[in-house]
Amino acid sequence: MHSLPYRTKLRIRAALKYGAITLAVLAALLLLLVIYLGRYVVYDENGAHIDLHRSTASPVAAEQLAEPETAAPMPVEIVYADPGTNDEDTEAMIGVYIDINMLQDPDAVLSALEALDGPCPVMIDLKSRSGAFYYSTGIEGAIRPDYVDVKKVDAILSYLRANGFSMIARVETFCDTNFALNNIPCGIPMAGGALWMDGNGFYWIDPENSLVRDYLKQIVSELASKGFREIVFDDFFYPESTQIVYTSEKNKNELMEETANLLITYFGNSNITISFGSPSTDFVLEQTSSRVYIGDVDGSNVSAAVSGYNRLADAAKQLVFLTASRDTRFDGYNLLRPLM
């Protein structure tokens, strides 16, 4: 039997040794690549894919999330140039609202505010369903839209505060694509593990997740520092879909009520009012100071809308109608009309 020369055997052994080292290095590099690309994985209804252009920063700083749920409510102070003399416990709230369509012409908004007879309640949209903030936020990882001049919105907020307006911020709550994609465990999952997306292409976040709740608290605290006395969490409901894997031990109404009351209690020692937009009619609020904001109601349906929210402690007082209607059947109720 033919035997390989000794030198040939040495060369083969050396080649195998270097080959094994090379494979080990390549395997290590591949592992590092997988870990790196893992930050860019996006989940949608089609499964997982890589998007190298999305932000990987965490929207909530770690040091701001270390505080336990049982911590004492943070003090929040709001200063007004003229707090006004209306007694909101006995008189209906009458004011105006500024939505995202109006904010795309901020100069016209400011002119319309200057034309008002005097300070009144003003609600302004400040956060979108994509998770974009319309003002200069300091929340880490937050994004700004390219269709709004954020600096001019800042100027509008400064005008409202300097002139004694009762400032109300409306922010999208659980529909937040940016936060969901940057915090995958906070998203609402489907059976296959991918994140659920609604029919408009937006991702939603889980109301029961502690990181999500801390994120909402952070938004309130920041807006309070800018002069807002009331925060309206809009679309305050859990989405319905047969694709969603719902894992909470509470039913959806119980979960939403728990989240609402947690936010109310957390800011209970401040002069901030936590309110909600478009919740279920089965929604119950323990605090009568909190309000529910609803639209798409005409004059003929005012009484029906009020009776539909009969689980509120005082529906006539807590409901706020958003309408351009001048129908007298809205008289006596809380009402916000479009600024322009």
DSSP 295-338: -S--GGGHHHHHHHTTTSTTHHHHEEEE-----GGGTTSEEEEE
What pLDDT is recorded for position 159?
98
What pLDDT is recorded for position 2?
60
Backbone angles phi, psi at 128, to 5 degrees: -95, 175
The 3-state DSSP class for residue 260 equals: helix
What pLDDT is recorded for position 83?
38
Q: Which two tokens stand for residue 137?
A: 């936020």
What pLDDT is recorded for position 69?
39
Q: How far apart are CA 179 and CA 161, in angstroms?
A: 29
Domains in the chain: boundaries: 61-338
Ordered per-residue pLDDT tens for the chain, 340 residues: 566 666 666 677 777 777 777 777 777 677 656 555 544 444 444 444 455 544 444 444 433 433 333 333 344 444 333 333 334 455 899 999 999 999 999 999 999 999 999 999 999 999 999 999 999 999 999 999 999 999 999 999 999 999 999 999 999 999 999 999 999 999 999 998 899 999 999 999 999 999 999 999 999 999 999 999 999 999 999 999 999 999 999 999 999 999 999 999 999 889 999 999 988 888 787 777 899 999 999 999 999 999 999 888 898 899 999 999 999 999 999 999 999 9
How long is the chain? 340
Alpha helices (H) in the chain, listed in sequence order? 6-38, 62-65, 100-103, 106-114, 150-162, 177-182, 210-225, 252-266, 302-308, 315-318
What stretch of H or E contains 124?
strand 121-127
The residues that bridge with 103 in the sheet, in sequence order, are none
Domain 61-338 has CATH 1.10.3720.10: no
Q: Which two tokens stand for residue 142?
A: 């937050």
Single pTM value for the model: 0.76
What pLDDT is recorded for position 91?
82
What pLDDT is recorded for position 249?
94
The 3-state DSSP class for residue 62 equals: helix
What pLDDT is recorded for position 117?
94
